[in-house]
Amino acid sequence: MVFSSLFFLYLFLPLNLVVYYFAKTTKARNIVMLIFSLVFYAWGEPVYVLLLLFMALSDWLISLFIEKQQPHSKMAKLGLVMMGVVNLGLLGFFKYASFVLENIGLVTGHNLGTLNIILPIGISFYTFQLISYVVDVYRGDVPAQKNFATLLLYVSLFHQCIAGPIVRYSDICAELENRRATAQDVADGIWRFCFGLAKKAILANAMGSIADEFLKGENLGSNTALALWVGVLAYSLQIYLDFSAYSDMAIGMGRMIGIHYRENFDYPYISRSVTEFWRRWHISLGSFFRDYVYIPLGGNRKGRVRTYINLFIVWALTGLWHGASWNFVLWGLYFFVFIFFEKLFLSKLLSKDRIVSHIYLVIIVYFGWILFRFENMGDIVTVLRGMFALNGNTFTNFETTTFLKSNLFILLFCIVVSTPIVRKIGNLVRYTYMNNPIARVIYSAGRVVIPLILLLLSTAALVGDSYNPFLYFQF
């Protein structure tokens, strides 16, 4: 089940909210959310609910064990090791076992076969949430949750369980046990959800259709150069709009019931360095690797060489987290190279010119998405060669030009939406005219009417189009 399905929009979510608000106590409402969350997860993969339950139960018991020990004692560290064995062991088995066997076979020349394992939806997200919880208990940052149902609710909340953001237990633990959604919370949540829905159903899906049209595997070698350039641009917009839309909807649904998730995107395409880009893109993942990998490894506290080694490890793991394929590892290390040079000298040069630094960032990220999209190295080479007409292909043709013209407006609109321009104009108008009584009435009416319009437009788009993937479900 995805957020941008008609079943979810017009049955599952409304029913969830109605039943939720009929329940009067936080405890009863938590039971409602837990039941709906487990049903949501089981909708696509009933068997893997057992895996989710097992991991949550294991980490609940381990965290209680750790809390009873002396801080940082050998027994507490043993609990931490047990957590790593359970969480990383299961994540490694389900996500990377076939990848490891395949590469051992390539090195040894022996075909070890494949395990044909179906990847549990969202395992990378909820595993990292459980890891952060147990580590925070070990560090003494949060007390161990005594109620297993509450911890299970934290890790299984359907808002963020299967595609993030990666929510820290410390951020919402108080709200899990005692919360109240104000009228402003509900209004803001509906607005944010409908905005994310439109971003996904109308814009991200449109970009996905263009990317698929121009980046089809069987046509890569013969595609025109212009088609490849536009295809990669559309994919760059799709992956941002798709994933940030999911985060928007998750944050919005959380606000509707009084839970405040942190932001996960901050207009990353306006960045002026790779370092800044990764402070704005998938913020919850970046902060996880910073706090639970980079800093424990020593961060930048043990000299320059050790700092670069730590960064190399973090970016190799960042790439591998996204998928069990070498293209993802290369994608992560690709960004490490530029961050390495930015720390050496490049950041000083980039700080001298805003325009040049922004162009630099856009080019780096743009070509990085080619590594991200294509698992086959031959396809990556074909695309890169084809973009410069080195495959014997032409720059453009009638079909490419015609298709581009018919989609030019939506491409430009998606570029604008990927920047804070619309938000800044809205804020400017709001703060300029809010002293005017008529303007306040119009603004208040807009807060009601605009989400409704976005919902109707999104519904129309979903009814008329069967193309509706969520890219980050695969991670």
Q: Where do the H-state alpha helices sit in 354-397?
A: 354-373, 377-387
Three-state DSSP state, 256: helix
State how far the alpha carbon of 83 is from the alpha carbons of 58, 86, 288, 320, 327, in Å. Answer: 8, 5, 16, 20, 29
Pick from 179, 178, 257, 195: which is nearest to 13 by CA?
Answer: 257
d(CA 161, CA 2): 12
> Vertex 227, ends 221 and 228: CA angle to 5°?
60
List the structure tokens of 164: 């993030």
Q: How many other CB atoms are there within 10 angstroms of residue 100's CB atom?
A: 14
DSSP-derived secondary structure for 59-104: HHHHHHHHHHSPTT-HHHHHHHHHHHHHHHHHHHHHHHHHHHHHHH
State how far the alpha carbon of 233 is from the alpha carbons of 140, 228, 330, 381, in Å. Answer: 45, 8, 20, 17
State how far the alpha carbon of 375 is from the alpha carbons of 330, 333, 371, in Å. Answer: 10, 15, 8
Burial class (CB in 10 A: 0-12, 13-18, 19+), 290: middle
282 DSSP assignment:
S
| Close Cβ partners of 314 (under 8 Å, ≥ 6 residues apart) | 289, 290, 293, 294, 297, 336
Catalytic hit among 260, 282, 322, 358: 322
Find tokens 């394929």 and name the residue. Answer: 325
Sign of the C-alpha dihedral computed for residues 389, 393, 398 and 400 taken in this order: negative
Contact 458, 197 (CB under 8 A): yes
d(CA 269, CA 276): 10
299 DSSP assignment:
T
d(CA 292, CA 285): 10
In the residue annotation, 72 being an active-site residue is answered as no
DSSP-derived secondary structure for 300-337: TSS-HHHHHHHHHHHHHHHHHHH-SSHHHHHHHHHHHH
| Close Cβ partners of 53 (under 8 Å, ≥ 6 residues apart) | 152
Active site residues: 322
